[in-house]
Chain A
Amino acid sequence: MLHRPATETQITHFQRLWLYMLVALVFAFLIIPCLIVIPMSFSGSKYLEFPPRSWSLQWYEAYLGSSEWRAATFVSLRAALLTTIFATTFGTLAAYGISRAYGAASSLARGVFMLPMLVPLILVAIGCFLVYAKIGLNGTTTGLVMAHTVLALPFVVIAVLSGLASYDMNQERVAQSLGASRPWAFLTVTLPQIRLSVMSGALFAFVTSFDEVVIALFISGGQNATLTRLMFANIRDQIDPTVAAISSLLIGLSIILLVGSHLLRGREDRK
């Protein structure tokens, strides 16, 4: 088996063994930190420990039973949904504009839209905090959604730009010649064809906002504290396995989202 050729090039599986092992190691490093948190969440102990010496569901109960955790979850979900809506809309329009424009203006716009990814997050957070302090946006959903939208924009722009790269703009011209105004041509011809890119951009935007902790630490608080902020505070002050339980739930949610989008995509390809 090991000495059978792996490809047309006659390289055997044995000769490739090192490659398989390297890949296995990379996978292990990627996956284990995520998996380790799951047994910890079922711990019967009062502290984070691995492996747990006894098992229980108490930390899931602690999470679901706490009004504080539930409120924070709601704040995070609301912020993430609003961020998704704004970032996807503006990001898609920006990507469209960048892909249609030529020359220096287009490159400049592309650079500006990538900035939030390049600037250290802590600087964005401090900047937001100082400006918001003056105009009274600290601790508000509006402030949080604005900051998260800025963070999420580059992901949407990148995703939609890649979708537009393989899209034939002549189709929109044809639609116009057939009687569609430019916005209508975009909505009926372009958007349906790049919707997978738009959706993956939207998914990134949601996750960017939902996962974000640095900005949330600075500008969210009180009634509008996000889930991540509360988790961070919990680790600092109490270190109980509630955080592990929440993390496990989040991992589950991510897997569902990923598998869902994958299935959608598969159905799309078959059509």
Chain B
Amino acid sequence: MPGRVEIRNIRKAYGSFLALDDVSLDIAPGEFLTLLGPSGSGKTTLLNVLAGFVRPDSGSITIDGAEFLLLPPHKRNLGMVFQNYALFPHMSVRRNVGYPLRLRGVSGAELDRRVEEALGLVQMAHLADRGVNALSGGQRQRVALARAIVFEPSILLMDEPLSALDKKLREHMQLELKRLHDRLGTTTVYVTHDQREALTLSDRIAVVNGGKIVQLGTPDEIYDRPKNKFVADFIGETRFLPVETGASGALLYGRPLRTRDDWKGATGEKPWLVIRPERLRWKGDESQTANRIEAETTDIIYQGDSYLITVRMPDGAELDLRRGPDLGGKDLPERGQPIQLWLDREHTILVADKS
């Protein structure tokens, strides 16, 4: 199966700014890999290096064993979808999708058949003869997608393709993208800054920051086993509490903390406890003193699908916890009252500032 990408030691500097700092990454054939990071992290630069629009200072990229680094974009045979769709407004939907095929000398019935097929895959066959200006955002993105897959590229590159759509459509398109990928099996490199989108779509996620891949793993590895404070902070509604390490193990506000993994940080490095609102329990076993947090309820906010309860720690730090609305309002803590919270051991994760 074609579509194996090997990225080796890619470096790219703009003046004194290091956009890509010795990035290496292997992408398996058929894999859906997401580059996730804040803006300016280097994820788009890396995508543009793959596409051939940015020439790195050093490194190597091979696709199915062939070196791509010096190949101009039009000889790479990669499908690319841009954030703003970049459809050609002077061509109809059909001509847009046919463009890459005509460049490859496909014509006549073969051209029509393949254009129809690609448009069918994205459910746009019925609008083939429209002008692209008459389409909605979601339809445009579908056409852009059809145009990027119609010539059966070995790799599909997508640069925040859904970020211009509203939330509901975005979530719908995520599912469609996932199904399309399952069906075509094209190796896909997807850039986004939306962590939920990355978790939804990806086989693996590469979290990028400061021109480096900070962590590479499956969505549950990234979410449940963040390597450092940056990753934990970037994914989920994460709060951090400072943890002391003593001879008897980790301590949180003087209470013992049983963690999933032993703290292996370097000496002098401060561990942080990763707390996410949906992982905090309350009304647990009163006798359990480990992983117990004493706090005071400061706010209770009804958000429709859940309650968001804000609590204050002894040292003034604030935490959120989320609770489903299944029990109605009667079982909620009261504002201003003390509250006891527990963290299950498997969700008790310590991270350092840097890994």
| Interface positions of A (Cβ within 8 A of B) | 168, 170-171, 173-182, 184-185, 188-189, 192-193, 271
Contacts and interface: CB of A to CB of B under 8 A. Distances in A.
A175 B87 CA distance: 9
Residue among A174, A181, A182, A189 with the highest chain B CB neighbour number at 10 A: A174
A176 B88 CA distance: 13
Contacts of A185: 74
Given A177-B51, A178-B103, A193 B82 contact: no
B77 A179 contact: yes
Given A177-B79, A193-B89, 10 more contacts: A170-B84, A173-B53, A173-B80, A173-B86, A174-B82, A177-B74, A178-B74, A179-B103, A185-B74, A193-B88
Interface residues of B, number: 29
A177 B78 CA distance: 6
A154 B7 CA distance: 46
Nearest to B104: A179
A171 B86 CA distance: 5
Contacts of A181: 72, 74
19 contacts: A168-B84, A168-B86, A171-B86, A171-B88, A173-B53, A173-B80, A174-B82, A174-B86, A174-B147, A175-B88, A177-B157, A178-B80, A179-B151, A180-B99, A180-B103, A184-B103, A185-B74, A193-B89, A193-B90
A90 B290 CA distance: 77
A50 B77 CA distance: 72
A178 B87 CA distance: 12
A175 B99 contact: yes
A9 to B, nearest CB: 33
Contacts of A177: 51-52, 73-74, 76, 78-80, 148, 157
Contacts of B147: 174, 178
A184 B99 CA distance: 12
B21 to A, nearest CB: 23
Contacts of B51: 173, 177
A180 B103 CA distance: 7
B4 to A, nearest CB: 19
A173 B90 contact: no
B100 interface: yes
Nearest to B103: A179
Interface string B81-119: 010101111100000000110011000000000000000
A177 B88 CA distance: 14
Nearest to A192: B90
Contact of B99 (A168, A173, A178): A178
B100 A170 contact: no
A197 to B, nearest CB: 14
A59 to B, nearest CB: 47
B78 to A, nearest CB: 6
A-B pairs, top 10 by smallest CB distance, nearest first, are A178-B100, A177-B80, A176-B73, A179-B103, A170-B86, A174-B86, A192-B90, A171-B86, A176-B74, A170-B82
Contacts of A188: 99
A4 B74 CA distance: 62
B89 A174 contact: no
Interface in B169-201: none
Interface in B55-89: 72-80, 82, 84, 86-89
A162 to B, nearest CB: 18
Contacts of A192: 90
A65 B333 CA distance: 104
Contacts of A182: 72, 74
A175 B75 CA distance: 12
Interface centre among A176, A178, A192 (most CB of B within 10 A): A178
Nearest to A177: B80
B77 A174 contact: no
A33 B72 CA distance: 57
Contacts of A168: 84, 86
B86 A179 contact: no
A175 B74 CA distance: 8
Contacts of B148: 177-178
Contacts of A175: 88, 99
A185 B151 CA distance: 17
Q: Which of B51, B74, B144, B147 has the most CB of A within 10 A?
A: B74
Contact of B88 (A184, A189, A271): A189
